[in-house]
């Protein structure tokens, strides 16, 4: 049984350094770590630069490793990066039985993440069929603001859950919710489902989840597998992200429009307000209102991106190069 870790990398920072150290201190080590290194134009942040950074990090911290781990770095020109296509390319490079995808800013909460994630796809979770994919719980970082902290706990609760196509009636579009911040896939099932789409601005994980479920497989939310991952986004940043979300829903409407909405957005807002009132965090309610409006407005515009001038679309998106 082999497992590779795959991470898209762009301008790595200290979180990436912590992630690499944690991966090399795991109870079960990966066979390979494949880094898809997005290289901005007119910079020197190529594979050699990233390799030197990793060497310094490992030399200074000396992780305990019971076997050699192959670290492979693949340069991806920034104009060629795609959330689906780049991960698809990495999956083609992997020869492992299982692939653990992570983002560069997700840090494992302990040294048993890989072991526990593998167990979800190889152990007997229930008496039913073993899932072919699983995603981890995301915990807020210590510096997360109060709204972001509660949002992570709302979206990633403490209870595990297995999902199949039968859950569409009760969960709606949340059935397809999945997160490549930390997600493991059975390579055989991944290939049978067609893999990641070659071009998408967002939601490559949810699209693959939908494809797996339609093949009759089940997926798993592994609440006991934890990574620290959160963002203190501004209203403008939320607007751009949700604009891109709307673009994805529009471009893949045949996937997302066929299922009933879960109205999770409204549930989250009202639940957060109740929490903030209990904490007497009244300014947090103002912040929540501004950011919720930015999300809604951005999403609505994203759904009609094809009717907007291309120059405007590029300004509204967090990934303007996608529309070139």
Closest CA to 31 of 94, 84, 83, 107: 94
* Distance in angstroms (rounded) separating the CA atoms of residues 228 and 46: 27
The SS3 call for residue 7 is strand
- The label of the residue with tokens 């995808």 reads 101
Give the predicted TM-score (pTM) of the model: 0.93
- The CATH superfamily label for domain 3-228 reads Spore Coat Polysaccharide Biosynthesis Protein SpsA; Chain A (3.90.550.10)
The pLDDT tens digits of the residues spanning 72-81 come to 999 999 899 9
| Inter-residue contact 113 to 26 (CB < 8 Å) | yes
| The predicted structure's pLDDT at residue 127 | 53
> String of b and e for 203-235 (b: at least 16 CB within 10 Å)?
bbbbbbbbbbbeeebbbbbbeebbbbbbbebeb
Domain boundaries, the chain: 3-228, 235-323
Closest CA to 115 of 103, 100, 132: 100
The pLDDT tens digits of the residues spanning 81-135 come to 999 999 999 999 999 999 999 999 999 999 999 999 999 998 765 556 789 999 9
121, two tokens: 């796809």
At residue 133, φ and ψ (nearest 5 deg) are -155, 150
* Distance in angstroms (rounded) separating the CA atoms of residues 145 and 151: 10
| Inter-residue contact 3 to 30 (CB < 8 Å) | yes
End-to-end Cα distance, the chain: 41
Q: What mean pLDDT is predicted for residues 55-81?
A: 86
SS3 string of 194-209? CCCCCCCCCCHHHHHH
* Distance in angstroms (rounded) separating the CA atoms of residues 256 and 258: 6
* Distance in angstroms (rounded) separating the CA atoms of residues 263 and 209: 20
Average pLDDT score, the chain: 93
Residue 82: how many CB atoms within 10 A of its CB? 21
| Inter-residue contact 317 to 247 (CB < 8 Å) | yes
Percent of the chain with pLDDT over 90: 81
Q: Is the dihedral of CA 21, 24, 30, 31 positive or negative?
A: positive
193, two tokens: 């489902």
The pLDDT tens digits of the residues spanning 285-324 come to 999 999 999 999 999 999 999 999 999 999 999 999 999 8
* Distance in angstroms (rounded) separating the CA atoms of residues 213 and 298: 29
* Distance in angstroms (rounded) separating the CA atoms of residues 240 and 232: 14
| Inter-residue contact 210 to 176 (CB < 8 Å) | yes
* Distance in angstroms (rounded) separating the CA atoms of residues 269 and 283: 15
- Going by pLDDT thresholds of 50, 70 and 90, the confidence category of residue 44 is low
Contacts 24+ apart (CB under 8 A), 10-17: 10/37, 10/38, 10/40, 10/81, 10/104, 11/40, 11/45, 12/50, 12/53, 12/104, 13/104, 13/105, 15/104, 15/105, 15/106, 15/107, 16/104, 16/105, 17/53, 17/57
* Distance in angstroms (rounded) separating the CA atoms of residues 320 and 299: 16
Q: What is the CA radius of gyration of the chain?
A: 20
| The predicted structure's pLDDT at residue 124 | 60
């Amino acid at each position: 049984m082999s497992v590779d870790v795959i991470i898209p990398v762009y301008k790595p920072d200290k979180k990436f350094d912590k992630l690499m150290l944690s991966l090399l201190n795991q109870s079960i080590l990966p066979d390979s770590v494949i880094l898809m290194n997005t290289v901005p134009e007119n910079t020197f942040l190529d594979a050699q630069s990233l390799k030197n950074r990793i060497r310094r990090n490992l030399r200074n911290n000396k992780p305990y490793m019971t076997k050699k781990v192959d670290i492979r770095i693949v340069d991806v020109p920034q104009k060629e990066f795609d959330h689906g296509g780049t991960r698809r390319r990495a999956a083609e490079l992997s020869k492992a039985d299982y692939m653990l995808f992570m983002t560069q800013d997700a840090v494992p909460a302990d040294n048993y993440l890989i072991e526990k994630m593998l167990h979800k796809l190889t152990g007997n979770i229930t008496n039913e069929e073993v899932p072919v994919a699983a995603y981890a719980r995301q915990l807020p970082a210590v510096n997360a603001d109060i709204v972001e902290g509660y949002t992570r706990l709302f979206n990633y609760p403490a209870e595990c859950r297995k999902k199949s196509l039968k859950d569409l009636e009760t969960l709606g579009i949340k059935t397809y919710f999945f997160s490549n911040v930390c997600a493991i896939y059975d390579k055989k099932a991944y290939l049978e489902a067609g893999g990641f789409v070659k071009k998408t601005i967002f939601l490559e994980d949810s699209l693959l989840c939908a494809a797996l479920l339609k093949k009759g497989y089940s997926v798993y939310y592994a609440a006991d597998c934890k990574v620290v991952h959160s963002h203190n986004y501004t209203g403008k940043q939320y607007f751009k992200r949700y604009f891109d979300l709307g673009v994805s829903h529009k471009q893949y409407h045949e996937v997302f429009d066929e299922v009933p909405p879960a109205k999770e957005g409204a549930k989250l807002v009202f639940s957060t307000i109740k929490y903030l009132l209990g904490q007497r965090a009244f300014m947090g309610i103002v912040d929540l209102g501004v950011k919720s409006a930015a999300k809604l407005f951005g999403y609505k515009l994203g759904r009609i991106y094809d009717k907007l001038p291309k120059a405007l679309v590029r300004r509204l998106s967090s990934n303007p190069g996608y529309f070139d």
